[in-house]
Structure formats: structure tokens, C-alpha cells
């Protein structure tokens, strides 16, 4: 948080504005941009089944972040397994907050979210790993735990494959209407 505030201060000193130019280049103010940005983020998380897994992983990371903050406020040391998911969630949530404030983007393929997709995937792997560990702990019979782990791995693989889209390059560009 201190680094972020330092960055804002340096940006205000150097450029005269708190946010990068693309924020100010948008037509309208934050009141119009915020609903568009939130819609943009929701459209990304509804774009594929794997994005649903990423959304669930983001909720998992936000819970870990909240537990980490509560532990710090209570004066307790946070559990070491919370640090990585909480840090990833904090970075992703800050980025998505910026995307929401700027109103998203009108172009296809969610280019404003592309920067955090690897972080979302990493957070999803943390969440799936913890889920598998919970299943392994709670399963009374080892075959049940192995079957649950295999099922989860196959589900993740199917969702990853569903994310791949093979399209004709002509369909990837925004068509220019004839004049």
C-alpha cells in the first residue's frame, strides 16, 4: 500500500495527475465509467467456464486476504500458506479496481484484463491445491481421495481446453464498415 501511495505521489508530482492518461482520455467521468467497467469485468468472468474457476479463485484469494488482514489487526502472525494467495488477490483486485474505474474497454478479447490472467491462473492453482488437500484430509478412504483428485485434474484440464478458441484471423479484428 505504501508503494502504491508513493507511486501516486510521484505521478502527481511529475505529471500533475494521479492516474495515467488513459483514465483521463475516457469520455465522461467516473460516474459513467464505473458501471461500464464493472460490466466489462463481469463479461470477462462470464466469457468461459475457466473464467468461472478464476472468479471462484479470486473469491478464495479475497477471503485469504481478509483473513490475513484480520490476523494482522489482532496482532497474530498470519499463516504462511495465506501469504501467496492473499498477495495475488491484492494485486488482482487493485488491477480490476483500476479497470472498473476507467470503464473497461470497447474492444474484444478483454485486453485490460490480460495483464492479470496469469495471476488469476496461479491463484486458481492455489485454490485447487487447497481444495485437493481438504479432500485428502477429509476422505476416510484413500481411493475416494484419489478419485476426487483425478476428477479435479480432469475437470481443470477440460476447462483449460475449453478456454482455447481457434478462430479465423479475419474474425479477430473489428470489421471496418464500408464508407
Q: Residues 156, 162, 166, 171: is their CA dihedral positive or negative?
A: negative
Q: Note whether 115 and 50 are within 8 A (CB).
A: no
Question: How many angstroms separate the CA atoms of 115 and 112, rounded?
Answer: 7
User: How large is the average pLDDT for residues 68-87?
Assistant: 86
Question: How many angstroms separate the CA atoms of 41 and 113, rounded?
Answer: 8
Q: Which pLDDT tens digit goes with each residue over 144-174?
A: 666 776 777 777 777 666 655 555 555 544 4
pTM over 0.95: no
Question: How many angstroms separate the CA atoms of 109 and 107, rounded?
Answer: 7
Using pLDDT thresholds of 50, 70 and 90, give the confidence band for residue 119.
very high
As a three-state string, the secondary structure of 98-113 is: HHHHHCCCCCCCCCCC
- To which residue does cell 484440464 refer? 157
Structure-model confidence comparison of residues 145 and 80, the more confident one: 80
Using pLDDT thresholds of 50, 70 and 90, give the confidence band for residue 105.
confident
Using pLDDT thresholds of 50, 70 and 90, give the confidence band for residue 15.
confident
- Residue 169: which H helix or E strand, with range? none
Structure-model confidence comparison of residues 27 and 35, the more confident one: 35
User: How large is the average pLDDT for residues 46-60?
Assistant: 90
Q: Largest Cα–Cα distance of the chain, in whole Å?
A: 69
Give the pLDDT confidence score for residue 141 in this predicted structure. Answer: 55
User: How large is the average pLDDT for residues 75-102?
Assistant: 88
Give the pLDDT confidence score for residue 39 in this predicted structure. Answer: 92
Q: Note whether 148 and 139 are within 8 A (CB).
A: yes
| Gap between the terminal Cα atoms of the chain | 50
Amino acid at each position: 500500500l505504501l508503494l502504491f501511495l508513493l507511486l501516486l505521489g510521484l505521478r502527481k508530482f511529475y505529471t500533475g495527475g494521479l492516474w495515467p492518461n488513459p483514465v483521463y482520455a475516457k469520455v465522461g467521468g467516473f460516474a459513467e465509467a464505473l458501471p461500464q467497467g464493472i460490466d466489462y469485468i463481469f463479461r470477462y468472468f462470464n466469457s468461459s467456464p475457466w473464467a468461472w474457476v478464476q472468479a471462484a479463485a479470486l473469491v478464495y484469494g479475497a477471503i485469504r486476504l481478509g483473513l490475513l488482514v484480520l490476523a494482522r489487526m489482532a496482532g497474530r502472525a498470519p499463516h504462511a500458506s495465506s501469504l501467496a494467495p492473499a498477495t495475488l488477490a491484492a494485486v488482482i483486485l487493485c488491477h480490476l479496481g483500476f479497470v472498473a474505474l476507467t470503464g473497461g474497454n470497447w474492444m474484444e478479447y478483454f485486453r485490460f484484463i490480460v495483464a492479470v490472467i496469469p495471476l488469476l491462473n496461479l491463484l486458481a492453482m492455489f485454490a485447487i491445491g487447497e481444495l485437493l488437500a481438504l479432500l485428502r484430509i477429509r476422505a476416510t478412504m484413500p481411493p475416494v481421495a484419489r478419485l476426487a483428485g483425478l476428477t479435479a485434474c480432469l475437470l481443470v484440464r477440460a476447462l483449460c481446453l475449453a478456454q482455447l478458441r481457434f478462430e479465423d484471423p479475419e474474425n479477430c479484428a473489428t470489421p471496418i464498415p464500408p464508407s
